[in-house]
Chains A and B, each alone.
Chain A
């Protein structure tokens, strides 16, 4: 489940106010459900990469990401149990849906949009979000779990960046034109988080204030996604201006 065992912290957790423990248990339990759902996202991405005849290393990493997300779900489930102080029920199965991009000009463009949307945007935002959580966390249990999740999310985002850098030339104009709508749609999802208003004790357990999350997301958009796309040769002035002007969604 993790590269290293989670550190014991049961005595300290038991001493926490039960309301805080419940909030944290629910957050991790919910994340167990969403991590499992993202395994389905990567099944879509793997199929898309295969259709596009992408580099074998990229396809293999996307395939491994499906297993990674199931492992993340198990880790989050274990964290929920730790904060609950007893075995948590299996997290619920969530309905899965993903964007279908009916306006894509060709099937290949649509497949590329799946990879870019999920990996370049969603997983880069996930990495920035988890890095912010890890920055805020001081509790060793939370830090161990967040570090484990983050190290995998980085590889998942790299799937997108490696694909972008090796993408066939005939897809580049279309994908460049899609950068802005993809950015709007995916950042909107991240801004829809329903995290509780945290106190200092929750920050210690890896739940940062909303303002810190917003800062992390916009900073990643401006400092990673926009220059990363340009680095891969996809330069969109509207996309860069949107990011620079507050990334309204």
Chain B
């Protein structure tokens, strides 16, 4: 298990503890695979020098029925709640009416008050 973000997010989260949270410039993420593109300035790669053990990677120590996931999907109301709003992938347009922000293709768009008649892309 060597996901580039594991080290940055999980192991790197310790920098927040016991301080004032002033770590804005410490956040770094791995770039694309070596050789695909020169690394950007100020973006460094976290070397996967510490990997979670296989038991951690599988996360399967706790016993549970094999069909528990199916049960959650079909019978557990907790999984039917919405998730937290995302920051990506909502397309807003303004074609003469209210600004439309369509979060899902299969649902009616969320209609928002028109913010301005001029300058909407």
Contacts and interface: CB of A to CB of B under 8 A. Distances in A.
- The size bracket of the interface on A is 35 or more
Interface string A24-60: 0111011101110110010000000000000111111
Given A122-B84, A131-B29, A231-B52, A95 B73 contact: no
Interface residues of B, number: 89
A224 B6 contact: yes
A189 B82 contact: yes
B64 interface: yes
Contacts of A3: 25, 42
Interface string A152-195: 10110111111001100000000010101110111111101111
12 contacts: A59-B21, A64-B21, A118-B84, A135-B32, A151-B29, A193-B88, A226-B58, A226-B59, A230-B61, A235-B61, A236-B62, A238-B64
Interface of B: 1-6, 8-32, 36-37, 40, 42-43, 52, 55-66, 68-69, 72-73, 76-94, 99, 101-105, 110, 112-121
Interface of A: 3-4, 22, 25-27, 29-31, 33-35, 37-38, 41, 55-64, 69, 72, 80, 83-84, 86-101, 103, 117-118, 121-122, 124-131, 134-135, 138, 143, 147, 150-152, 154-155, 157-162, 165-166, 176, 178, 180-182, 184-190, 192-196, 219-220, 222-224, 226-232, 235-242, 244-245, 248-249
Q: Which 3 A-B pairs have the closest CB atoms?
A: A223-B3, A193-B89, A60-B21
